[in-house]
Amino acid sequence: EPEVTQTPSHQVTQMGQEVILRCVPISNHLYFYWYRQILGQKVEFLVSFYNNEISEKSEIFDDQFSVERPDGSNFTLKIRSTKLEDSAMYFCASKRDRNTEAFFGQGTRLTVV
């Protein structure tokens, strides 16, 4: 069964460092998303991506965040200068169509120290 894959599963980084979180969405899906979930809190939308551009982003997705789809398969989230409060689980999701269900990757646990 097709699935969304994310790497790495766990990333520890020092404050101020750049991190890149990687995702491979399901191959025939067209809509891609990044969400994050701080421990014990609700899932928060970060950004949606369609047709090689950002379609929507939340207030959380400020200038330190960027997304790319560098080739036909990967979808990356870059955090330029990490802060302690960026520590969270980051989930990538993809959808076939905009009104269909989203399938999630297993997440990357980011720990900023």
Partner 1 sequence: QKEVEQNSGPLSVPEGAIASLNCTYSDRGSQSFFWYRQYSGKSPELIMFIYSNGDKEDGRFTAQLNKASQYVSLLIRDSQPSDSATYLCAVNTKDSNYQLIWGAGTKLIIKP
CA atoms of 72 and 42, how far apart (whole Å)? 31
Check binding of 76 to partner 1 (CB under 8 A). no
Q: Which stretch binds partner 1 (CB under 8 A): 22-30, 61-69, 79-87, 102-110?
A: 102-110
Per CB under 8 A, does 42 bind partner 1? yes
Residue 105 sits in the site that holds partner 1 (CB under 8 A): yes
CA-derived radius of gyration, the chain: 13
- Residue in 60, 78, 89, 96 binding partner 1, rule: CB under 8 A: 89
62 CB-near residues (< 8 Å, 6+ apart)? none
Complete DSSP assignment for 81-109: S--GGG-EEEEEEEESSTTS--EE---EE
- Per CB under 8 A, residues contacting partner 1 are 31, 33, 41-45, 48, 55-56, 89, 91, 95, 98-107, 109
